A and B are shown apart, each in its own frame.
Chain A
């Protein structure tokens, strides 16, 4: 069975602070993909990043960065210099053939 755990239910930080969202996963598959999605109040899930299980290189995209550590089954997401527009619910997800398994999400609030 696959499982994704996002232990942080809610996080609030002051604008311009850095914030890290944690994600821990469980799977027996040797090949898998991990994702982060952003869900703003409008409800639509916005794709942020996909990582496959063979690529442990960290990735940076603007203010966003991701740290994938297979040894600890973690795929953490850091926002640098947070902005109010970053306020949303963020979901980590794990692939299985044909479907995604999502965590319960972390609600991030950026305080102006």
Chain B
């Protein structure tokens, strides 16, 4: 049973560029949430996708956007990268967007993004 997978593992980009991160949820899960974890901080909720729609969003600018595909996998896109976007980006999957099963979110290993 495959867990949550993310790609790439590491990424280096330049300020102003755009980046796309990918996530495949745990088998049987249909909801994907994205979190940003800056160095020395706890993860911060970016947004959640369910049924190919953004269901909830944290306090992040519109430069952060996403997509969910029919197979439940998801992408996180960040435009006009800033130095402050350097962080570990974590994807979490769950079954259902808001019911109790959601509370058992399974996290992937993350993508380490460095913006120079």
Binds B, one of A12-20, A64-72, A78-86, A98-106: A98-106
User: Do A45 and B41 touch across chains, with their CB atoms under 8 A apart?
Assistant: no
* Shortest beta-carbon distance from B5 to chain A in Å: 11
* Shortest beta-carbon distance from A46 to chain B in Å: 8
Q: How many A-B residue pairs have CB under 8 A?
A: 60
User: Do A102 and B43 touch across chains, with their CB atoms under 8 A apart?
Assistant: yes
Give chain B residues whose Cβ lies under 8 Å from the Cβ of A93: 42
* Cα(A100)–Cα(B104), bound, Å: 10
What residue of chain A has the Cβ atom nearest to residue B45's Cβ?
A99
Given A43-B88, A91-B42, A100-B109 contact (CB < 8 Å): no
* Cα(A103)–Cα(B43), bound, Å: 8
Tell which of A33, A43, A44, A103 touches B42, judged by Cβ atoms closer than 8 Å: A103
* Cα(A105)–Cα(B42), bound, Å: 6
Does B17 count as interface, using CB distance less than 8 angstroms? no
Does B16 count as interface, using CB distance less than 8 angstroms? no
Does A50 count as interface, using CB distance less than 8 angstroms? yes
* Shortest beta-carbon distance from A28 to chain B in Å: 17
Given A33-B103, A35-B103, A101-B45 contact (CB < 8 Å): yes
Does A95 count as interface, using CB distance less than 8 angstroms? yes
User: Do B107 and A102 touch across chains, with their CB atoms under 8 A apart?
Assistant: no
Seen from chain B, the residues whose Cβ lies within 8 Å of a Cβ on chain A are 33, 35, 40-45, 48, 55-56, 58, 88, 90, 92, 97-98, 100, 102-110, 112
- Counting from the closest, the 10 A-B pairs by CB-CB distance are A102-B42, A45-B107, A98-B56, A99-B45, A97-B98, A44-B109, A33-B103, A43-B110, A102-B43, A104-B42
Contacts A/B (CB < 8 Å), 6 sampled: A44-B108, A47-B107, A91-B43, A95-B103, A100-B43, A104-B40
